[in-house]
């Protein structure tokens, strides 16, 4: 597959679809995302010579990656909730100014 302006535009088309549908047509994220998925599937099948098998495997891979991300986010939320319930978030907020008077350093800590 050659690298050309046309291929770049076709590759960017699903992202552009979401942006246009959400900003100009005021569609919700669910509808715009679904339409963008259809555009991406059509571009991959028609323009780039993909197959239904490749499309199916890419969806399975996306699902596995999304589950990995959700596990990380849910674990972080659980840890934050437990720390907040235990009062450690407030304690950390009170102790950070002891390390430095500089607000930018406090932000980094």
For residue range 59-100, what is the model confidence (pLDDT) as tens digits? Answer: 999 999 999 999 999 999 999 999 999 999 899 888 988 888
Query: What's the pLDDT band for 106 if we cut at 50, 70, 90?
Result: confident
Residue with tokens 């969806």: 59
Which is more confidently placed, 13 or 90? 13
User: What DSSP string describes 16-51?
Assistant: HHHHHHHHTS---HHHHHHHHHHHHHHIIIIIS---
Residue 45's pLDDT is 96
Q: Which residue, 43, 41, 67, 65, is CA-closest to 55?
A: 41
Average pLDDT of the residues in 42-51? 95
Report the C-alpha gap between 59 and 57 in whole angstroms: 5
Q: Nearest-5° angle of CA 37, CA 42, CA 46?
A: 155
Residue 1 has pLDDT above 80, yes or no: no
- Find the helix packing angle between 52-86 and 88-99, rounded to 10°: 80
pLDDT above 70 coverage of the chain, percent: 100
Residue 100's pLDDT is 86
Q: Which bin fits 26, alpha (ψ -120 to 50), beta or left (φ > 0)?
A: left
Q: To the nearest whole number, what is the mean pLDDT of the chain? A: 95
């Amino acid at each position: 597959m050659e690298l050309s302006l046309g291929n770049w535009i076709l590759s960017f088309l699903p992202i552009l679809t979401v942006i246009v549908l959400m900003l100009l047509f005021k569609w919700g994220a669910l509808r715009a995302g679904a339409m963008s998925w259809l555009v991406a599937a059509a571009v991959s099948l028609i323009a780039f010579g993909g197959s239904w098998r490749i499309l199916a495997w890419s969806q399975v891979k996306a699902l596995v990656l999304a589950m990995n991300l959700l596990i990380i986010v849910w674990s972080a939320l659980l840890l934050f909730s437990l720390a907040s319930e235990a009062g450690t978030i407030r304690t950390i907020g009170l102790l950070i100014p002891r390390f430095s008077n500089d607000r930018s350093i406090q932000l980094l800590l």
